[in-house]
């Protein structure tokens, strides 16, 4: 049910294309996945997501547990019906909130006690509870509960958190009882190669349908991110989809694909879109700036998304300057399409065996001679 089929390999890197089969459709890899934390990719409809080339999206266990609650989602027929998205869905476990809401939680080996950011009430999440929530949500992929420490943590603290992540993974595996839902483990270990290797080998030993690498892009330097991307894949199973969590820049996606990663997510496309900033090649255009007032060209004339086919920079500038919601939607839609188009172009380059990565300007490196 969750077969991962590798369809082509690159001769000069570890890049590969593949198909991840799920009960709600297949995911062609490498693939960028938009983030829909609260069962919605902010400002974007399911129809628009499909038009942008989305094949799999993310939602968040922690936030859906707080509102509207997993029981209501289950009563509606599961998260796919609840949000009218028939394609694959991955639910994050809430482990990132252990990191991002550190001031509001108390961590032990049994789980995490949160102070609800909505109303101040106390919420306790254990690995067992996180599994039950995700089984009720009925996503295609459930992520194991993990402890993601800050990048500034020392080696002893990282090792302590890693032991907790591994203990929680064992409990998640024991609790998870849903045959039409895949469970992915998460590799942690911070910036320490010894701990990353240990975690990768431990997590791989469970032979789960897929494996993720977390604790990346949480405030550390670009060099440290690259170090993890370069080092960890050596210890991951080749025949399983590899998910690099929280990555959404062209350079880091390119490097990760070259090292054999398959799936990526990031909130950046919609977060920037809500502030009037669009992707263009490897640049960012702040469409609020006055220089776009009389610019009647699309954001990107090579892009085939709904925004670029139908609207000018001048119009988007007008919408953003007047706080019109449509502007935020149209820019977010373009940003999502931009990253999916990029991973599609990489796929084509891999299949044609001309994918290279040298961090030269993006047009001539990651996608070789292909245009997108």
What pTM was estimated for this model as a whole? 0.94
Q: Judge whether 265 counts as a catalytic residue.
A: yes
Q: What is the mean pLDDT of the chain?
A: 93
CA distance 20 to 145: 22
Interval 10-16 mean pLDDT:
94
**What digits encode the pLDDT tens for the residues 296-317?**
999 999 999 999 999 999 999 9
User: What does the pLDDT read at residue 365?
Assistant: 43
- Domain residue spans of the chain: 4-266, 280-323
User: What does the pLDDT read at residue 119?
Assistant: 83
Determine which one of 140, 265, 282, 323 is catalytic.
265
| Alpha-carbon separation of residue 231 from 211, 225, 238, 261, 289 (angstroms) | 15, 10, 14, 12, 41
Q: Judge whether 358 counts as a catalytic residue.
A: no
Please return the burial class of 358, using the count of CB atoms within 10 Å of its CB with bins 0-12, 13-18 and 19+.
exposed
Interval 86-107 mean pLDDT:
80
Determine which one of 92, 136, 140, 300 is catalytic.
92
Using omega within 30 degrees of 0 as the cis cutoff, is the peptide bond preceding 272 cis? no
pLDDT at residue 2 above 90? yes
Tokens (6 digits) for 349 = 């380059």
Position of tokens 């054999």?
260
pLDDT at residue 361 above 60? no
**Domain at 4-266, CATH class:** alpha beta
**What digits encode the pLDDT tens for the residues 141-181?**
999 999 988 889 999 999 999 999 999 999 999 999 999 99
């Amino acid at each position: 049910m969750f077969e991962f089929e590798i369809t082509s390999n690159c001769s000069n890197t570890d890049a590969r294309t593949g198909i991840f089969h799920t009960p709600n459709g297949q995911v062609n890899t490498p693939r960028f996945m938009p983030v829909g934390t609260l069962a919605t990719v902010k400002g974007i409809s399911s129809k628009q997501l499909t038009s942008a080339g989305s094949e799999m999206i993310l939602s968040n266990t922690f936030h859906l547990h707080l509102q509207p609650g997993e029981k209501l989602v289950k009563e509606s027929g599961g998260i796919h019906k609840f949000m009218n998205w028939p394609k694959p869905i991955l639910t994050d476990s809430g482990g990132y909130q252990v990191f991002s809401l550190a001031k509001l939680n108390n961590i032990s080996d049994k789980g995490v006690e949160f102070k609800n950011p909505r109303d101040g009430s106390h919420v306790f999440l254990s690995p067992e509870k996180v599994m039950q929530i995700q089984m009720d949500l009925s996503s295609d992929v459930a992520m194991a509960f993990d402890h993601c420490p800050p990048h500034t943590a020392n080696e002893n603290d990282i090792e302590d958190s890693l032991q907790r992540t591994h203990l929680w993974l064992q409990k998640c595996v024991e609790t998870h009882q849903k045959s039409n839902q895949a469970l992915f483990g998460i590799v942690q270990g911070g910036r320490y190669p010894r701990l990353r290797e240990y975690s990768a080998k431990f997590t791989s030993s469970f032979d789960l349908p897929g494996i993720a690498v977390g604790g990346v892009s949480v405030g550390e330097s670009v060099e440290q991110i690259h170090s993890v991307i370069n080092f960890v894949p050596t210890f991951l199973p080749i025949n399983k989809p590899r998910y690099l969590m929280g990555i959404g820049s062209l350079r880091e996606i390119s490097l990760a694909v070259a090292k054999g990663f398959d799936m990526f997510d990031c909130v950046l496309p919609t977060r920037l879109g809500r502030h009037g900033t669009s992707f263009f090649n490897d640049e960012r255009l702040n469409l609020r700036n006055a220089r776009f007032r009389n610019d009647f060209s699309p954001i990107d004339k090579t892009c085939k998304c709904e925004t670029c086919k139908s609207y000018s920079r001048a119009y988007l500038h007008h919408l953003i300057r007047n706080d019109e919601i449509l502007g935020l939607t149209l820019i977010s839609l373009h940003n999502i399409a931009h990253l999916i188009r990029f991973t599609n172009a990489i796929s084509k380059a891999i299949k044609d065996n001309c994918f290279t990565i040298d961090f030269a300007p993006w047009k001539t490196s990651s996608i070789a001679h292909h245009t997108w």
